[in-house]
Amino acid sequence: MSQIQVTDLTFSYEGTFDTVLENVTFNIDTDWKLGLIGRNGKGKTTLLNLLMGKYDYKGSIVSSERFDYFPYRICEKDLAKNAEELIEVWKPQVEMWQVLIQMNQIKMDPECLYRPFKTLSHGERTRVMLAVLFAAENEFLLIDEPTNHLDMDTRQTVKEYLSSKHGFILVSHDRDLLDAVTDHVLVFNRNSIEVQAGNFSSWWENKEKQDAFAIAENEKHAKEIGKLRAAADRSSRWAEKNENTKIGFDPIKEHDRCLSTRSYIGAKTKKAQARVKNYEKRVEREIEEKEGLLKDIEQVTDLKLNPLKHHKEVLVNASELSLRYEGCENALFEDLRFEIKQGERVVLAGKNGCGKSSIIKAILNEINKKDHSSVSSERCDLLVSGTLDVASSLTVSYINQDTSFLKGTLKNFCKERDLSESLLLAVLRNLDFERSQFEKNMEDFSEGQKKKVLVASSLITPAHLYIWDEPLNYIDVFSRIQIEKLIETYKPTMLIVEHDVMFRQKVSTKTVMIQ
């Protein structure tokens, strides 16, 4: 057990004016199970890369530990190799027996080590990499979003596996995972860094209390400042008026006054002016105490949605539905029944590869055929058996899980999709996009920022049905809470594929399990 000491760490990417990390200082213990929490773009992945020694930086990182990073890098030529061969590149110091022990713990068939890597599913690749990652000893491990694209069962397996380990930093926006596997959190707040014992929920509970206290203190100071300024203004006006009576008086109107009263008036004026200065000092002190109170408040701004009302109650009806792809003999599933009524949020659940995205693809294809629209430009090679009926004249807002097509400027993105640029930028600002990001090309955005572009474009599109396919991958916790609140408030009709357990519990009205 040892310490990792980070002092005045400052870093910015070459060719940009943005400082990703500035004067960051913290100490952590290498025996901890540490969750790293922060908004998209705050520098979480950058910090992991700096610990790995990938970039030059200012400041210091002091540690006697050796670091290793998940996920391992896979290039195109690596996909034809099997994991046994790749282990020699990823972690040459480990023996195969060490990897096999971890494979057993993560409930993985060793046979996967000898198959071409391209034949493994997302879940299989993740578990193989984690088994290799934890195979060696005396390392501090850096784990970057291990549950993206994983189904419920695989997420549960990864959660149980990581909860049995220690000595790592976990970057994740999955609140269920953070609660289950971490015993400390390192939080990148808006303007500060904090380290706290506990998991996400305990930190979030403390933060809500701290934020409420800071807001109350801020209001109290604001009221006190207003009172002091009003009192100072009254005293100042009184002193000025009194001072003006020292010289010149009317002996008929002011027969009880003489020249000797000047010194008395001057003394009273001096006291009033001293009182004014005392008020001003107290105002400055109150302002000083007020400053910084709200610097780390996470203002989860309410978003807006404009769902359309359709003349039919049932928008999608599936009965004895079976799907298979051209050239494949086996169906993805058979005899599936479900319907989507107005106001329902239907979640499709099941293992990776069971056909969740294929159902979305089939629905979009039916909408295109019925209304001659172009909700999705993907070629549909699905063969549909049974009944899949969609309402006519249905307006759909669709989020694809793929972000690779996002290129060019936000301005051009809005023109291509006939979106209001000002409205899109306003929603992105509410999702904590920095204004400086608006000038960049989207290919330079982080994955979380790209996802936010897709979510924002969907939110500003009035629709009868919102179809979201894994919309939350890479999106930070605070934005997830915003989106949950939005859906709970406006109750749009939705078809969702999403593996975030807490999100599903919050927003879904019905779950369709695909076997």
pLDDT confidence of 148, banded at 50, 70, 90?
Answer: confident
Decide if 123 contacts 131 (C-beta within 8 A).
Answer: no
Q: What gap in Å lies between CA 334 and CA 323, rounded to an integer?
A: 7
Question: Model confidence over 17-58: pLDDT tens digits?
Answer: 678 899 999 999 999 999 999 988 888 999 999 999 999 999
Which of 440, 442, 390, 381 lies closest to 413, judged by CA?
A: 442
pLDDT at position 442: 94
Residue with tokens 């096999």: 100
Hey, how many other C-beta atoms are within 10 angstroms of the C-beta on 246?
15
Decide if 164 contacts 142 (C-beta within 8 A).
Answer: no
pLDDT at position 142: 97
What number of residues does the chain have?
A: 515
Decide if 395 contacts 464 (C-beta within 8 A).
Answer: yes
pLDDT at position 324: 87
Hey, how many other C-beta atoms are within 10 angstroms of the C-beta on 50?
21
For the stretch 290-326, what's the b/e string if a residue is b when 16 or more beta carbons lie within 10 angstroms of its beta carbon?
beebeebbbeeeebebebeebeeeebbbbeebbbbee
pTM over 0.85: no
Decide if 507 contacts 487 (C-beta within 8 A).
Answer: yes
Task: Identify how many contiguous H helices and E strands the chain contains and give both numbers.
Answer: 14, 17
pLDDT confidence of 184, banded at 50, 70, 90?
Answer: very high
Hey, how many other C-beta atoms are within 10 angstroms of the C-beta on 70?
21
pLDDT at position 260: 54
In terms of Cβ atoms closer than 10 Å to its own Cβ (0-12, 13-18, 19+), residue 241 is: exposed
Whether the predicted pLDDT of 244 surpasses 70: no
Whether the predicted pLDDT of 383 surpasses 90: no
Q: What gap in Å lies between CA 514 and CA 354, rounded to an integer?
A: 7
Whether the predicted pLDDT of 413 surpasses 90: yes
Whether the predicted pLDDT of 384 surpasses 60: yes
Q: Where are the alpha helices (DSSP H) in 63-163?
A: 83-90, 96-105, 122-133, 152-163
Question: Model confidence over 459-479: pLDDT tens digits?
Answer: 999 999 999 999 988 899 888
Which one has a higher pLDDT value, 236 or 401? 401
Hey, how many other C-beta atoms are within 10 angstroms of the C-beta on 478?
19
* φ, ψ for residue 192, nearest 5 deg: -155, 170
pLDDT at position 256: 54
Q: Where are the alpha helices (DSSP H) in 164-260?
A: 175-181, 200-243
Whether the predicted pLDDT of 195 surpasses 90: yes
Overall average pLDDT of the 276-296 stretch? 65
**Can you give the C-alpha Rg of the chain in angstroms?**
31
- Token duo for residue 373: 């629209």
Q: Which amino acid is at 46?
A: T
CA angle 91–92–94, rounded 5-degree value: 75
Could you tell me which residues are beta bridge partners of residue 4? Answer: 28
For the stretch 160-181, what's the b/e string if a residue is b when 16 or more beta carbons lie within 10 angstroms of its beta carbon?
ebbeebbbbbbbbbbbbbbbbb
Residue with tokens 């979201």: 468
Supply the mean pLDDT for the chain: 86
Could you tell me which residues are beta bridge partners of residue 497? Answer: 469
Beta strands in 287-402 (DSSP E): 314-325, 333-341, 345-349, 382-390, 396-399
Q: Where are the alpha helices (DSSP H) in 134-199?
A: 152-163, 175-181
Whether the predicted pLDDT of 263 surpasses 80: no
Whether the predicted pLDDT of 141 surpasses 80: yes
pLDDT confidence of 63, banded at 50, 70, 90?
Answer: very high
Alpha-carbon distances of 2 from 5, 186, 198, 290, 323, rounded to whole Å: 10, 17, 19, 38, 55
Q: What gap in Å lies between CA 358 and CA 411, rounded to an integer?
A: 31
Which of 196, 183, 175, 193 lies closest to 481, judged by CA?
A: 175
Question: Model confidence over 77-108: pLDDT tens digits?
Answer: 999 999 999 999 999 999 999 999 999 999 99
Whether the predicted pLDDT of 286 surpasses 90: no
Overall average pLDDT of the 262-266 stretch? 60
pLDDT at position 249: 52
Q: List all residues 6 or more positions away from 371 whose beta carbon is below 8 Å from its beta carbon.
A: 392, 393, 394
Hey, how many other C-beta atoms are within 10 angstroms of the C-beta on 444?
12
In terms of Cβ atoms closer than 10 Å to its own Cβ (0-12, 13-18, 19+), residue 141 is: buried
Decide if 151 contacts 162 (C-beta within 8 A).
Answer: no
pLDDT at position 52: 95
Which one has a higher pLDDT value, 47 or 251? 47
pLDDT confidence of 261, banded at 50, 70, 90?
Answer: low
pLDDT at position 103: 95
pLDDT at position 301: 60
Residue with tokens 């291990």: 146
Hey, how many other C-beta atoms are within 10 angstroms of the C-beta on 79?
13
Q: What gap in Å lies between CA 466 and CA 305, rounded to an integer?
A: 11
